[in-house]
Chain A
Amino acid sequence: MNRIAIKMLVGDVAKYFGILLGITFAALLITQQSSIFTGLMSRTYAFIADTSLPDLWITDPEVKYIDELEPMQSTALDRVRGVPGVEWAVPMYKSILRGRLHNGTFRSVIVVGLDDATLIGGPPKMVEGELADLRRADGVILDVVSAKTRLASWSAYDADGKPVKGATMVPMQVGDSLQINDRRAVVVGLCEVSRTFQSQPVIYTTYSRALSYAPPERKQLSLILAAASPGTDPTELAARVTATTSLRARTSDEMCWDTVMYYVKNTGIVINFGIAVLLGFLVGIAIAGQTFYNFTLDNLRYFGALKAMGGSNLLLLRMVLLQATLAGVIGYGLGVGAASLFGMQVKGSELAFRMTWHIPAISGAAVAIICALSSIVSMIKVIRLEPAVVFRG
């Protein structure tokens, strides 16, 4: 009778299509929105993930996440270095400063200053030049995407400073210069960085040069990057550093998580995506459930006939369940497949999209719930059905 159940479902093309549409839509929306959400969230900690060398990220105790750093006194570095189990510790400067391009336009830029001696914390991948080129006078390294977009300038300008007609965009290149807080910076290399939540261009330089760009302040040390000596557990070390220095030491994973949670708690992003996912779920139930119920109602006289002819409740339930499962599996496959296609299409574009294995699992569970809810009403209807209806017109 399994085959007959499937034939009954597939035989009603319009309803079958409607049920599939509802489930596919739900699976697609849930998968796609969750993947975009995950993509966006992983951007929030992209800077941390890009910097793989240090085990610990140490900040002022007030700091909540990576994009808002409270500077520390320079003596903090020595205190961290004095904690047993710390293999090495280096300073890092990270702040948004004002850059001025040679055509006169201003841009906010993220300036990252790396320890002069070791250059630890540099970009994950160089496109042009080398990290060591930072040691050249006024040397800075730009992220290549910004060099082509935000930091690019027009090939020709008129007297009013507007680009002339037919002018083309010229990316900023190695050898070009710009001003950061009125001090000269020369591009010595281009690098690739993961996209972050902050959209400003990223400019790498040395720690001491970064301080020379920065406005003079009493505290200027944004971050301390540290490594645990061999055999020391980073989590334990973080606790020890926090306890002995009264700074805030976090492992890389903890720092990533802090950052994600900051955005989760302080922006409407979760609610936004939550609503989209819920909507997908509800619309899925509405379309698939409604259509499935109508399908069952249409077939009620046949179910009644089957009952009269010796079909047990259990058998009929199995048939309904099989029909719902089949629609669920196919709709889920189509939906997740479509979401994956979408993900492949937008790969490398501005759009964040990251499908971890959890996401198909979650939408699978959602589809299972949709199918269960959709079929349960039908099942009740079939169980309650009196076989005597078969003789009623």
Chain B
Amino acid sequence: MADTQRTAVHARGITKVFGKNQNAVHALRGADLEVPYGELVMLVGPSGCGKTTLISILAGILDRSDGSCEVLGVDPQHLRQGARTRWRGENIGFVFQQFNLIPALTAVENVAVPLLLLGHSRNKAIAAAEAQLDRVGLADKRRQRPTQLSGGQQQRVAIARALVHEPKFVVCDEPTSALDADNGQIVMSLFADIAVQGERALVVVTHDARIFHFADRIVRMDDGAVTDVRQQASDKTPKLHAHS
């Protein structure tokens, strides 16, 4: 068993069944996962093996059918709906394959959304969002709308949004699959650079073998279960290991 002090995510025997009886789909069949603070874990495996389902459960947006799960010291499923929503807002960062930036808002407003959801004043939220946009190198794109940005730039805005409220746990589902190879590298390298910290755990679901080297640990899944966990020396090592 991992040291819970240093383990952000501690999941055992997670199962998930969608539907009932004949229509039942066993998306997860007893998946185990540990994610230590300060690590970037990549979740890889064939399509339909349950990667998205697993991170949805870890992030507290989906209920598991069975198993035990502790994320940042709590079991999200034991929180009541309102408390769970608030917990997500305070602790989880999300990066989506399709970015999901609100088209009517400027880049900086999109980045400010998590803070506004937490009830911060607009001025404070915008100031923090501007600082975060600077960190992803888009200081000059603050007033642009998503449609005026390239895919890579949009995903950088989305990364800024995922980090602006300093979440302890960040989940990304296929963050590079909507991008070309070069942009995928740029975005992932930026992400590894600014997102990985000693007090934060990160899980990235990906198919993209070209970004595997950014991972501290690669977790393979197949048919609803984890089949292999491989620790690796990340390319972005110096900063990482100084923390953890």
Contact = CB atoms under 8 A, between A and B. Distances in A.
A3 interface: yes
B147 to A, nearest CB: 10
A4 B102 contact: yes
Interface stretch (B7-15, B91-99, B191-199, B218-226): B91-99
Contacts of B105: 4, 7-8, 11
B52 interface: yes
B96 A312 contact: no
Contacts of A304: 100
Interface string A300-315: 0110111111111101
A18 interface: no
Interface stretch (B32-40, B115-123, B232-240): B115-123
B70 interface: no
B63 to A, nearest CB: 9
Contacts of A301: 98, 100
Interface in B96-118: 96-98, 100, 102-105, 109, 113-114, 116-118
B88 interface: yes
Interface residues of A, number: 28
A315 B90 CA distance: 16
B173 interface: yes
A215 interface: no
Interface in A337-393: 386-388, 390-393
Interface in A230-265: none
A4 B113 contact: yes
* Most chain A CB inside 10 Å of its own CB: which residue of B97, B98, B117: B117
A312 to B, nearest CB: 5
Interface stretch (B53-61, B136-144, B179-187): B53-61
A1 interface: yes
Contact of A387 (B61, B82, B86): B61
B85 interface: yes
8 contacts: A11-B103, A305-B96, A308-B88, A310-B85, A312-B82, A313-B85, A386-B62, A391-B55
Interface of B: 52, 55-56, 59, 61-62, 81-82, 85-86, 88-90, 92, 94, 96-98, 100, 102-105, 109, 113-114, 116-118, 122, 173
